[in-house]
Amino acid sequence: MSSDGARRIDQGKEPGLRLLRHTIANQRVALAIGTALVSLHQVMETLVPVAIGAIIDGPVTSGDVPTLVVALEGLAALFVVLTYSWRFGARRLVAAIEAESHRLRVTVARRILDPRGVRTSLRIGELLAVATTDAGRAAQILHVVPATAAAITAVAGAAVALLLVDVPLGLLVLLGTPAILVALDRATPLLTRRMTAQQEAVARASGLATDLVTGLRPLRGLGAEPAAARRYREASADALAATLRATRAAGVYTGTSAAVSALLSVAVAGVAGWAALAGRISVGELITVVGLAQFVVEPLGTLAALPSSWAASRASADRLSLVLHAPPLLPAGTGTPSDGRLVLRGLGYRSLRGMDLTVAPGELLGVLAHRPQDAEALADVLSGQVPPEDVRGELTVGGVPLGALDPVAARRTVLAEPHHSDLFAGTLAGNITAGMCDPSGGIPPEVLRASAAGQVADTHPDGLDQRIVDRGSSLSGGQRQRVALARALARRAPVLVLHEPTTAVDAVTEQAVAEGIARVRHDGGEHTTVVITSSPALLAVADRVVVVDDGRIVAAGTHAELAATHPTYRAAVLR
């Protein structure tokens, strides 16, 4: 396991234990009832061989038929209690496990979707594994606790019964069981480390697979499928190796524990046989001892296997804690922007260096970045999702510094539509209205016209009700861009940041979209729009265009002025 993985496990150690204790406390009533019922089931299981032995030594040996009938009725009642105690106890415990799994999944999902973000190095796929697989495994602590109590009850009951039959037999179980458990417990830390490493490796492979599937089309366009496949094969091989190590350790542990438990049972049966031959115990007592020796194998095996289950729950709880206790990306600001004015003073972020820019409310600003990294850095910093400590200089929105903005208010004020937008499984209309404050009024027709998303609806018999699969893969790239743009325009955000919104549409549509954005956003309104693009159609409708090169603004003016006086601008735009 890597040193980084070990460090993260150590950091999540105590929070993981607290999470498991909290999980138990949440379901304490159901857990108490379920544990009592399954423990009663084990008591009844213990009494079965005792009752059979007593029946053989009593009415069977004496030939007392009425007493035998009563004894058999009592044995039947024993089985009824045994059956229903397990049935209702297991039902309560399974319901508690499923309820806690759901609660943990919702809690992790809420943390991941928090407006302030979460500071973690985990990929999307890894976060998905934490929110699903790890949540379920952590909830299995609600199985570990009652199983432990029931197994201890069974072993203790068997030991007491054996003590009543023969003291050496009872002492053999009472002393042998703790010795076995102490010896096996020494392997628990190794199991925990192996299972944690396995879960991390599998989550990394899942995260990489998610990234590859998401970016499959760009990979094909670049011809990078072999390199991507090689990376996934390496990650998958690491996950396989970690899984084999964890499974091998668990297999050795389970096999050893089963063998040792069986040897203890054989020893009990052997000592009982010797005692019967010596005349110390009766035939009925011999049957009782043999029955108990066979019965005790199961709870001993359960006790031996529980450390493995505990290790899995503990490892998952540690991973859950990494997300639940991760610091937020953004501070808990309280400021609310007064308008859509953007001011950048000496701004530095990634490739940006000392950028000074003011965007007035109601202005449509075009930004041409000669370097893609500058465009991406500017789009990211304007989105408001960058931690203030990562930004040099000053960025204010509506007069409020970035670090003092309330994240919810900031998201209502500034909407940054990324270049690669995701669509959701559902209808075309549902994707467009997803961000609207009041979707009940439907989609404004001007939004459909401005984004050309109306054309997407017109090409399908179901129109706006057509079904879209996850990530919009049933649509072409240009159709996805138009739907995402319609969603952004429908929000009516005071500040809208668009990053190359028309790269996948034809020139005629691009011209119509450019005019539509200007019309919807800037016909008599105070909306502010920043379009980071190299599209001449979009730059032509902008009130002002700034040119960014080497992380700084190197020129500013209208599109016509820059095209006439700035050779590098003309070469980049008028292709």
Structure tokens at 472: 């919009």
CA 17 to chain centre: 19
DSSP codes joined into one string, 241-291: HHHHHHHHHHHHHHHHHHHHHHHHHHHHHHHHHHHHHTTSS-HHHHHHHHH
| Cβ neighbour number for residue 556 with a 10 Å cutoff | 14
Is the CA virtual torsion 324, 329, 333, 337 positive or negative?
A: negative
What is the full per-residue pLDDT of the chain (575 aa) written as tens digits?
A: 333 443 343 444 578 889 999 999 999 999 999 999 999 999 998 898 888 888 887 878 777 888 888 888 888 999 999 999 999 999 999 999 999 999 999 999 888 888 777 887 777 767 777 888 889 889 999 999 999 999 889 888 888 887 787 777 667 766 666 666 666 666 566 666 676 677 667 766 766 666 665 555 555 555 556 776 777 777 777 777 777 777 777 777 667 766 776 676 677 777 767 766 666 777 777 777 777 777 777 787 777 777 778 888 888 898 898 888 888 877 777 777 777 788 889 888 988 888 888 888 888 999 999 888 888 888 888 887 788 888 888 888 888 887 777 777 777 788 888 777 778 888 888 888 876 766 666 787 888 888 888 888 888 888 888 888 776 677 777 788 888 888 888 888 888 899 988 888 888 888 888 888 888 888 766 788 999 998 899 999 999 999 999 888 898 999 989 988 888 888 888 76
Amino acid at 569: Y
How confident is the model at residue 64, as a pLDDT?
Answer: 80
Structure tokens at 390: 């990562």
Classify 280 in phi/psi space as left (phi over 0), alpha (psi -120 to 50) or beta: alpha
Q: Please provide residue 84's backbone torsions phi and psi, each rounded to the nearest 5 degrees.
A: -75, -30
Q: Are the C-beta atoms of 550 and 377 separated by less than 8 Å?
A: no
Structure tokens at 425: 């499984």
How confident is the model at residue 257, as a pLDDT?
Answer: 67
**H helix runs in 65-117, sequence order:** 65-112
Which residues face 214 on adjacent strands? none
350-373 core/surface letters (b: 16 or more CB in 10 A; e: else): bbbbebebebebbbbbbbbbbeee
Torsion, Cα 331 336 338 342, to 10 degrees, reads: 20
Q: How far apart are the first and last CA of the chain?
A: 52
pTM, 2 dp: 0.65
Structure tokens at 177: 């069981």
Which residues face 181 on adjacent strands? none
Residue tagged 């493995």 (tokens): 308
Which residues face 395 on adjacent strands? 344
How confident is the model at residue 83, as a pLDDT?
Answer: 92
